[in-house]
Structure 1
């Protein structure tokens, strides 16, 4: 069971904007990513008036929460973290009616328990968002301070850019979906303190943006859908989004890892189709390269070496493929003869080439291992472990950034001069990440996908889907 300590009185990312599909939030100064993790929520009533506040402070693996809410009837009031950072009217799935603050969605449930429970229950048994009850006095003011490790400001249990909701009635801590706590009376979006990002909103509710590439000459980001293969082009200055290539094109039902080569061509890994697609700078299909037929292909990511060769990971088959400058695709390295051992789940995923063109670096998602492969000798060396759920990679000199999808952070690893060892230096949740999968660099800033792939097989994703731009850390 999770501990929940009541303490003496102590003195999440901004709400999703209403930007249109092609619109963009105004750029704000990037705060240093090393700032201590804390967040606040302005608690409002249905008329939009601020009627209280909540403060969140990271304490180890948990969070200290201090809440004060005014103008409620005396007695107990259920209090929960809800899935979405939207304090707007919306449909309550329990009643199928539009209610105040229905836009906040259901209770935050990182353990996928599908069960309302006691605030001391482990998240695999009850909603992570099930919090202690707020007791309101005769003066109409409710105050509560507590520490819980059911939620966090970072990682899988992260509540940044989610909503804190206070209900009209007491919580019985057992009845689904909300403990018979009645109407949603107060709501506040949990916003990280002293931190800002820039979001690029995508237009399609089926986007699930998995891959990401940047064309420096055109000033355009490309991102591809893991659900239908559509590729979008995003102008990094204006935020204008256009459809670059329609989903379902030849050899591309999905679009995973992506890279732009020096000729401006876009290379796309085709996942379970086992294909590599090459598109011209204006979106025409130039080539669709097929790997050998297999029941379980999964081409996940690719990297372009200085000489023009392209290296491709396969997450299910233990092989790295290479496409040479003449567009010949071959199996370049049989991983069964190396220290890299494939197991259940996603194996090799992201891949990058070192700036000197000497090595490949690739991560194994299911084991958390980072590997170095010599492009001349094909020798394989383990760089480090402890990086489970690492998806896309971005190499900046001897600094490696990793999108840690399920962990909902971007990690920074400092690598040795020969890329043969590394140290985990920082983990950054930004303003609330939603299953990040890929990264690119824009000058002194980075862009990450918020893919929400965890919602692809069930559950309602937050829309609009978005890419998020932030400063290096």
Structure 2
């Protein structure tokens, strides 16, 4: 009758711990390589109100050929606010025609009407606590373009209607129905309550 030999290999507790540590280290290394490091934005706008009080920050990042805009604001009235890029990076709170009027009109290199301006962005929604957090991706410009063109970021006091005035409405400023000149320029977004020059970060 033949004999059967069985070879048993025993692992000491120390060997087991070393093996577990090796697996844990490998797992952590894999997790680390999967994380993306977040660097500084390509451009930034530090918003201030007419009293030179800080209101928040808007950052601009180029992302897959588009521009990601991230706004974090505070100390604003609750509700929707017009949120635009303006053509002149000049934020003078005591401007003759009104706070930050020196930023001129909306950034519109194609000279089109409101609602189609490159600088027309979705309204900023401010919560009851006066803060807002919004991110939007657009393809109308690059961060470098905004810096090179010396533009400004503006927050308005009122919502923006994007010049969407149906023909059944008539303005006090004109006899014909539909949007008037002011609506076509600004979307009736009201006063400018915060401004910042868009600069390279």
Specify the TM-score bucket, using the shorter chain as the normaliser: 0.5 to 0.7
User: Aligned partners of 1:140 and 1:49: how far apart in 2?
Assistant: 14
Match of 1:218 in 2: none
Is the Cα contact below 8 Å between 2:51 and 2:93 reproduced in 1? Answer: no
Find 1:48's aligned residue among 48, 52, 67: 52
Find 1:182's aligned residue among 174, 182, 190: 190
Q: How does 1:267-416 map to 2 (within 5 A)?
A: none
Deviation at 1:61, TM superposition (A): 3.0
Larger Rg: 2
Q: How does 1:129-278 map to 2 (within 5 A)?
A: 129-154=119-144, 158-160=145-147, 161-174=150-163, 175-193=183-201
User: How big is each residue's C-alpha offset from its partner over 1:354-410, in whole Å with a ceiling of 9 and x where there is no partner?
Assistant: xxxxxxxxxxxxxxxxxxxxxxxxxxxxxxxxxxxxxxxxxxxxxxxxxxxxxxxxx
Q: Of Structure 1 and Structure 2, which has the larger fraction of its residues in strand?
A: 1
Corresponding position: 1:79 with 2:69: no
Q: Structure 1 residue runs of 4+, over 3 Å off?
A: none
Match of 2:111, SS state, is coil
**CA spacing shift, 1:183–1:61, aligned 2, 3 Å:** same
Q: Of Structure 1 and Structure 2, which has the larger fraction of its residues in helix?
A: 2
Deviation at 1:60, TM superposition (A): 3.3
Deviation at 1:58, TM superposition (A): 1.0
Query: TM-score, normalising length from structure 1?
Result: 0.29
User: Aligned partners of 2:98 and 2:185: how far apart in 1?
Assistant: 15
In structure 2, the gaps of 5 or more residues are 1-37, 164-182
Match of 1:112 in 2: 111
**How many residues end up aligned between the 2 structures?**
143
Deviation at 1:188, TM superposition (A): 1.0
**CA spacing shift, 1:179–1:53, aligned 2, 3 Å:** same
In structure 1, the gaps of 5 or more residues are 1-10, 12-34, 92-96, 118-125, 194-473
Query: TM-score, normalising length from structure 2?
Result: 0.66
Match of 1:245 in 2: none
Deviation at 1:37, TM superposition (A): 6.9
User: Aligned partners of 2:200 and 2:140: how far apart in 1?
Assistant: 18
RMSD over equivalenced CA pairs, Å: 2.0
Is the Cα contact below 8 Å between 1:55 and 1:66 reproduced in 2? Answer: yes
